[in-house]
Amino acid sequence: MDLFTSAYSLVRTQAPTSPVTCLRPHAAMRASRYFRRNFPGEILYAVKSNPRFEILDAVHSAGIDHFDVASIAEIRLVADRFPGALLSYMHSIKSREAIREAYFSYGVRHFALDSHDELEKISAATDGARDLTLLIRLAVPNIHAEMDLSAKFGIAPLDAAPLLVQARAVAAKVGICFHVGSQCMNPAAFGVALERVGDVIRASGVMLDIVDVGGGFPSLYPDMTPPPLDTYMSEIATALGRIPIGEGCEIWAEPGRALVAEAGSTLVRVDHRRGDHLYINDGTYGSLFDAGVPGFVFPVRAIRLQGRPSRRLLPFSFYGPTCDGLDYMKGPFLLPADMGEGDYIEVGQTGAYGSTMRTQFNGFYSDETAILSDPPLLSLYRGRNRAPQLGGVHHYDKSGTDQ
Ligand SMILES: Cc1ncc(COP(=O)(O)O)c(C=O)c1O
């Protein structure tokens, strides 16, 4: 794969006509190292957020050898790539075939569940195995998150206690896991969730082997500056101190977004301008799903090879290339006022839930990828949360100077 010093140098050398997925593995390594150093426990990488080998390798080389996998395809992928890695099947609803293959063909022993039906399913599909680690997924409030997962997954605390007792009877180890929702903007959400874990422990009388605080750690976007990650770490450490767990209880986290969002960006080209709408060659059916209905505002930077972009910035919206009106990204994306056909835009923070969401709808699909060695457009790990200004990102001029 080609390596470039920046998106500008990629445009200058290749003038790509299709969208390019740009990867910054060094950013994933930096984030992974931060989590390993500062989280009070073990880190599992949530593979769904970005399963590309370059990213998996970066996370793995930073010392993360335990993966949160949510499908049999993810299990096959990670097991082939890292034969010695530990895999935890954290999707709480699985098919019997997938459980069976995970257990018998890939040695997976850790399974999440949030119902008695799933417990029966796991037991039956593993032929009554007695070497399982079962993690009960608890429903917790997702009110501080951009992406709410609480309606779809999790068991209410009152019902969790009897399920935990039942799991304890058949498993080698038991734990509780939860997810505060993706892009959680308030560390207190972890404290509230851990209080619920404490309630379940007290109600069930079961000593836990594992408490898994899930994902949900935020990344940085032009309109969303979360509190420093350190405050999430200290909130978790403090809340853990208040719940009845023993010394030997393992603490896990399964971050996705916070590890890899800034390790990816998408290079697009403008095909047309209509007022303050730019028609670009990637969209919500491609790598920019989160800019559509979920409404994420990604950082952007204009790249123009011929001439200098205007210094005046305007708020733009984007339309993607497909024929669907839903292929719309409201933004606002602050870009030079004279943006037009042929200009390029580097859309940042698409490393998590970006290229992995691409479809082939309408025939628009690009597999072009490049590695970039420069810093990401925004970073949580540089100068610890220096607050970004909306649109206060750089534009390249003709000489490639970052302005
Ligand atoms: C079970 C589980 N763990 C971890 C994650 C990763 O979450 P995030 O990317 O918000 O850190 C998800 C995301 O959906 C999830 O469902």
- Tell how far the Cα of 225 is from the centroid of ligand 1, in angstroms: 20
pLDDT at residue 392 in the model: 37
Structure tokens at 239: 């809340």
Alpha carbons 309 and 8: distance in angstroms, whole number: 13
pLDDT at residue 230 in the model: 97
pLDDT at residue 146 in the model: 82
pLDDT at residue 290 in the model: 96
Alpha carbons 325 and 362: distance in angstroms, whole number: 13
Q: Ligand 1, from 45, 48, 155: best to mutate by most atoms within 8 Å of Cβ?
A: 48
The number of the ligand 1 atom at minimal distance from the alpha carbon of 184 is: 10
> How would you write the pLDDT of the chain (403 residues) with one tens digit per residue?
799 999 999 999 999 999 999 999 999 999 999 999 999 999 999 999 999 999 999 999 999 999 999 999 999 999 999 999 999 999 999 999 999 999 999 999 999 999 999 999 999 999 999 999 999 999 998 888 888 887 889 999 999 999 999 999 999 999 999 999 999 999 999 999 999 999 999 999 999 999 999 999 999 999 999 999 999 999 999 999 999 999 999 999 999 999 999 999 999 999 999 999 999 999 999 999 999 999 999 999 999 988 899 999 999 999 999 999 999 999 999 999 999 999 999 999 999 999 999 999 999 999 999 999 999 999 999 764 444 443 433 444 444 444 4
Alpha carbons 103 and 360: distance in angstroms, whole number: 33
pLDDT at residue 383 in the model: 61
3-state secondary structure the chain: CCEECCHHHHHHHHCCCCCEEEECHHHHHHHHHHHHHHCCCEECEEHHHCCCHHHHHHHHHCCCCEEEECCHHHHHHHHHHCCCCEEEECCCCCCHHHHHHHHHHHCCCEEEECCHHHHHHHHHHCCCCCCCEEEEEECCCCCCEEECCCCCCCECHHHHHHHHHHHHHHCCEEEEECCCCEEECCCHHHHHHHHHHHHHHHHHCCCCCEEECCCCCCCCECCECCCCHHHHHHHHHHHHHCCCCCCCCEEEECCCHHHHHHHEEEEEEEEEEECCEEEECCCCCCCCHHHCCCCCCCCEEEECCCCCCCCCEEEEEEECCCCCCCCEEEEEEEEECCCCCCCEEEECCCCCCCHHHCCCHHHCCCCCEEEECCCCCCCCCCCCCCCCCCCCCCCECCCCCEC
The number of the ligand 1 atom at minimal distance from the alpha carbon of 177 is: 1
pLDDT at residue 149 in the model: 80
Q: Ligand 1, from 254, 257, 289: best to mutate by most atoms within 8 Å of Cβ?
A: 254
pLDDT at residue 1 in the model: 79
- Tell how far the Cα of 87 is from the centroid of ligand 1, in angstroms: 15
Q: Which residue's CA is the nearest one to ligand 1's atom 14?
A: 182
The number of the ligand 1 atom at minimal distance from the alpha carbon of 145 is: 10
Alpha carbons 276 and 55: distance in angstroms, whole number: 35
- Tell how far the Cα of 227 is from the centroid of ligand 1, in angstroms: 19
The number of the ligand 1 atom at minimal distance from the alpha carbon of 70 is: 1
Q: Which residue's CA is the nearest one to ligand 1's atom 7?
A: 215
- Tell how far the Cα of 43 is from the centroid of ligand 1, in angstroms: 12
- Tell how far the Cα of 342 is from the centroid of ligand 1, in angstroms: 37
Q: Which domains does the chain have, with CATH numbers?
A: 3-22+264-372 (2.40.37.10), 25-260 (3.20.20.10)
Q: Which residue's CA is the nearest one to ligand 1's atom 1?
A: 90
Alpha carbons 277 and 312: distance in angstroms, whole number: 16
The number of the ligand 1 atom at minimal distance from the alpha carbon of 183 is: 10
pLDDT at residue 144 in the model: 82
Alpha carbons 193 and 138: distance in angstroms, whole number: 9
The number of the ligand 1 atom at minimal distance from the alpha carbon of 216 is: 10
- 85 C-beta neighbours (distance < 10 Å), count: 17
Residues having CB closer than 6 A to ligand 1 are 46, 49, 68, 90, 179, 182, 214-217, 254-258, 352
